[in-house]
């Protein structure tokens, strides 16, 4: 988020931030970029947040209201409407937050989406499972990432997750799509993509989320406009149009099946996390943070993407519990890969191991790049195999 704020200031915007904590709790570098700060109540109390923001702003002239965080995109729409500002209204943004509504609107425009049902409570979940069939996936309608999302191969697995889903107001029960999982990330101006990027997850997020031994990885392609990826790019463009995307970044997840078909997973009207924006920058040699800011402020894009590099990032999880006590293999990787390593951010020895279920970034990451796809995949595989963090 500080990088997007930096982008705004670089294109001439004055930025007023809003958050639950006091301004004093912000990192000093971020505070210097802000011209003001509004402390608000809990994000979960949307009406109180809108009132607090409007009261704090007083008569200040505001030109844009933006949110880049999934739980607050609807709040931003409410504030925009209250101030009479341009941008997507609440109903449009809801199409990007409500996973069932999202699929219905996309399907109406001809996009391939999984068969699904909106469920409230255990009985509706069981009934939907019978109608859709196994395997299936259950995910919160208003969820983000893979929180409380589970694949179920049969009725026994479905029942094993019922206790966790009791706390979910609405669940989407969906057809399980078999295929390679990718992202489609795009910067749009007035609904038209002006910059695009495609990344493949290695392995799919549901596997990485549920297997502690996995080192989640992802590769951003240097050029998203090549044969095998084109169906996903076309799907992303169609879904953006169907959902009424205006100006900003979209992050879509899609599956490429064995037959080459592109199937929608879900889409959000905010940037992807887990280093996706940085991979986009490294792959195409642009500054997406600044270009997003230029788009939302001035409806312009000045980037000239080079599409030069395939970029891989590997996230590492330490073995054991407690504090990081040793890092193995990094020296050899530095010596062999050299300048192909574009970023190394591992948790230092002595720091506590992070909870791998709560963060994809885990205990740090290593990013590599190469103009050749196979070379980049080989480097990714080496980091997965040879780099190890021990905790104890």
Domain boundary among 247, 281, 308: 308
Q: Flag whether 331 is in a domain.
A: yes
Q: Flag whether 97 is in a domain.
A: no
Q: Are 54 and 82 in contact (CB under 8 A)?
A: yes
pLDDT at 148: 81
Percent of the chain with pLDDT over 70: 99
User: Do 69 and 157 share a domain, yes or no?
Assistant: no
Q: Are 100 and 114 in contact (CB under 8 A)?
A: no
Domain boundary among 279, 308, 337: 308
Band of pLDDT at residue 295, cut at 50, 70 and 90: very high
pLDDT tops 90 at residue 209: no
How far is the C-alpha of 296 from the C-alpha of 312, rounded, in Å? 29
pLDDT at 276: 98
User: Which region among 7-11, 114-118, 252-256, 339-343 has the lowest average model confidence (pLDDT)?
Assistant: 114-118
User: Do 297 and 212 share a domain, yes or no?
Assistant: yes
Give the position of tokens 């979940």.
125
Domain boundary among 292, 308, 324: 308
Q: Are 53 and 32 in contact (CB under 8 A)?
A: no
User: Do 143 and 237 share a domain, yes or no?
Assistant: no
pLDDT at 373: 98
Band of pLDDT at residue 237, cut at 50, 70 and 90: very high
CATH value at residue 220: 3.30.470.20
User: Do 171 and 197 share a domain, yes or no?
Assistant: no
Structural domains counted in the chain? 4
Quick: pLDDT tens for 66-86.
999 999 999 999 999 999 999
Phi-psi region of 200 (alpha: psi -120 to 50; beta: other; left: phi over 0): beta
CATH value at residue 55: 3.40.50.20
In angstroms, the Cα distances linking 192 to 37, 74, 245, 249 are 32, 22, 8, 11
pLDDT at 206: 84
* Average pLDDT of the residues in 309-335: 98
* Average pLDDT of the residues in 179-183: 97
Q: Flag whether 225 is in a domain.
A: yes
Q: Flag whether 93 is in a domain.
A: no
Band of pLDDT at residue 13, cut at 50, 70 and 90: very high
* Average pLDDT of the residues in 284-293: 98
Phi-psi region of 168 (alpha: psi -120 to 50; beta: other; left: phi over 0): beta
User: Do 205 and 276 share a domain, yes or no?
Assistant: yes
- Structure tokens belonging to residue 195: 């910059």
Report how far Cα 285 is from the mean position of its chain's Cα atoms.
20
* Average pLDDT of the residues in 163-186: 93
Percent of the chain with pLDDT over 90: 90
Residue 345: which domain range?
309-392
Band of pLDDT at residue 290, cut at 50, 70 and 90: very high
> For the residues of 166-197, what is the DSSP string, one character each?
TT-S-EEEEEPPPSEEEEEEEEEETTEEEEEE
pLDDT at 145: 63
Mean pLDDT of the chain: 95
User: Do 185 and 299 share a domain, yes or no?
Assistant: yes
For residues 321-341, one letter each, b for 16 or more C-beta atoms within 10 angstroms of the residue's C-beta and e for the rest, the string is eeebeebeebeebeeeeeebb
pLDDT tops 80 at residue 143: no
Q: Flag whether 213 is in a domain.
A: yes
pTM exceeds cut of 0.75: yes
* Average pLDDT of the residues in 225-242: 97
How far is the C-alpha of 347 from the C-alpha of 36, rounded, in Å? 33
How far is the C-alpha of 84 from the C-alpha of 34, rounded, in Å? 23
């Amino acid at each position: 988020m500080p990088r997007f704020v930096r982008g705004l200031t670089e294109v001439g915007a004055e930025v007023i931030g809003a958050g639950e904590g006091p301004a004093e709790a912000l990192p000093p570098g971020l505070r210097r970029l802000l011209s003001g700060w509004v402390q608000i109540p809990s994000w979960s109390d949307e009406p109180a947040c809108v009132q607090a923001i409007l009261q704090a702003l007083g008569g200040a002239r505001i030109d844009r209201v933006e949110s880049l965080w999934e739980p607050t995109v609807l709040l931003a729409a409410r504030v925009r409407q209250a101030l009479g500002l341009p941008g997507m209204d609440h109903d449009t943004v809801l199409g990007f937050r409500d996973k069932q509504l999202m699929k219905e609107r996309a399907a109406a425009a001809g996009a391939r989406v999984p068969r699904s049902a909106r469920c409230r409570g255990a009985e509706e979940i069981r009934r939907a499972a019978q109608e859709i069939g196994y395997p299936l996936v259950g995910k919160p309608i208003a969820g983000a990432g893979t929180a409380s999302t589970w694949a179920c191969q049969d009725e026994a697995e479905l029942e094993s997750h019922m206790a966790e889903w009791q706390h979910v107001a609405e669940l989407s029960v969906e057809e399980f799509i078999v295929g390679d999982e990718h992202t489609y990330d795009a910067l749009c101006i007035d609904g038209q993509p002006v910059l695009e990027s495609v990344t493949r997850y290695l392995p799919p997020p549901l596997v990485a989320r549920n297997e502690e031994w996995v080192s989640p990885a992802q590769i951003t392609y240097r050029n998203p406009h090549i044969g095998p990826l084109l169906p996903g790019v076309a799907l992303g463009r169609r879904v953006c149009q169907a959902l009424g995307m205006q100006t900003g970044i979209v992050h879509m997840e899609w599956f490429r099946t064995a037959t080459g078909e592109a199937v929608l997973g879900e889409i959000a009207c905010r940037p992807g996390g887990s280093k996706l924006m940085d991979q986009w920058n490294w792959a195409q040699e642009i500054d997406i943070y600044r270009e997003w800011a230029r788009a939302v402020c001035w409806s312009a894009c000045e980037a000239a993407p080079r599409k030069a590099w395939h970029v891989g990032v590997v996230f590492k999880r330490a073995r054991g519990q407690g504090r990081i006590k040793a890092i193995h293999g990094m020296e050899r990787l530095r010596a062999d890969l050299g300048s192909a390593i574009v970023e190394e951010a591992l948790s230092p020895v002595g720091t506590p191991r992070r909870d791998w279920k709560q963060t994809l970034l885990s205990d740090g990451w290593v990013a590599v790049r190469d103009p050749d796809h196979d070379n980049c995949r080989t480097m990714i595989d080496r980091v997965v195999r040879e780099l190890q963090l021990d905790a104890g």
